[in-house]
């Protein structure tokens, strides 16, 4: 898989998948319009990202959800209620994800399968949850760089530094971001500028080989995903 990723000429290029969980902005510090501004920025920069869309968010913001797809970004599911899947029965997981399927498809116009991100990453190491997700045609996508953008106490500069350190340490990285925190926009702007200057390629999750897609998350992660 890795070999196929090398560009013509054979020189290895750092590849970065920006993955953005878009969810109901009922979090401390969230600001209206943050996801729209992020889409504006990605569009200006010509960077495509992957958005894991929460069903409840897509129901509330269908026009923004539609933009994600029409502007060429990859779409995955981030469940409907953003519940911890380990707390749900198999039937509960199926009901939640199926409801998300329907509203994400309706809002974005595309099928989010096979990409799924467990809320909080919870269940990503639980065979029962993974089996339930798989039955519905999904595979969980974790991350290997946690931007910690959800932490309202962190500035955009700090978030950008975290991304830079993490993405510099590996040839391919999947970066966890969110659609609502105020620090995310400038952090992503800085990331695109810095790594773009170094010749990195920004990719969507479907452009990565299976071995490049982290199933879990960094061991030290204490993330609000």
- Summarize as ranges the residues that interact with Zn ion (CB under 5 A): 21, 23, 119, 225
By beta carbon distance, the residue nearest Zn ion is 21
Least distance between Zn ion and beta carbon 51 (Å): 11
Least distance between Zn ion and beta carbon 123 (Å): 12
Least distance between Zn ion and beta carbon 158 (Å): 20
Judged by CB, which is closer to Zn ion: 15, or 56? 56
Least distance between Zn ion and beta carbon 30 (Å): 12
Judged by CB, which is closer to Zn ion: 23, or 212? 23
Judged by CB, which is closer to Zn ion: 119, or 142? 119
Helices 34-45 and 184-197 cross at an angle (nearest 10°) of 10
Report d(CA 141, CA 124) in Å as an integer.
8
Q: Decide the pairing of beta strands 15-22 and 115-116.
A: unpaired
**Token pair of 171, please?**
């040839």
Judged by CB, which is closer to Zn ion: 14, or 99? 99
Whether the ω angle into residue 65 lies within 30 degrees of 0, i.e. cis, is no
Whether the ω angle into residue 114 lies within 30 degrees of 0, i.e. cis, is yes
């Amino acid at each position: 898989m890795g070999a196929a990723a090398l560009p013509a000429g054979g020189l290895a290029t750092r590849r970065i998948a920006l993955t953005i969980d878009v969810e109901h902005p009922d979090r401390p510090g969230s600001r209206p319009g943050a996801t729209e501004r992020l889409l504006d920025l990605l569009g200006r920069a010509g960077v495509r990202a992957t958005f894991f869309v929460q069903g409840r968010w897509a129901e509330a913001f269908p026009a923004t959800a539609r933009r994600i797809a029409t502007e060429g970004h990859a779409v995955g599911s981030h469940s409907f209620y953003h519940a911890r899947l380990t707390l749900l029965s198999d039937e509960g997981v199926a009901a939640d994800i199926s409801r998300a399927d329907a509203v994400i498809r309706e809002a974005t116009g595309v099928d989010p399968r096979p990409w799924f991100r467990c809320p909080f990453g919870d269940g990503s190491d639980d065979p029962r949850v993974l089996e339930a997700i798989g039955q519905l045609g999904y595979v969980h996508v974790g991350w290997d760089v946690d931007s910690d953008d959800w932490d309202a106490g962190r500035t955009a500069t700090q978030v950008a530094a975290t991304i830079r350190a993490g993405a510099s340490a590996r040839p391919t990285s999947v970066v966890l971001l969110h659609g609502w925190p105020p620090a995310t926009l400038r952090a992503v702007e800085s990331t695109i500028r810095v790594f773009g200057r170094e010749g990195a390629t920004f990719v969507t999750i479907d452009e990565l080989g299976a071995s490049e897609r982290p199933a879990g998350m960094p061991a030290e992660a204490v993330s609000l995903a």
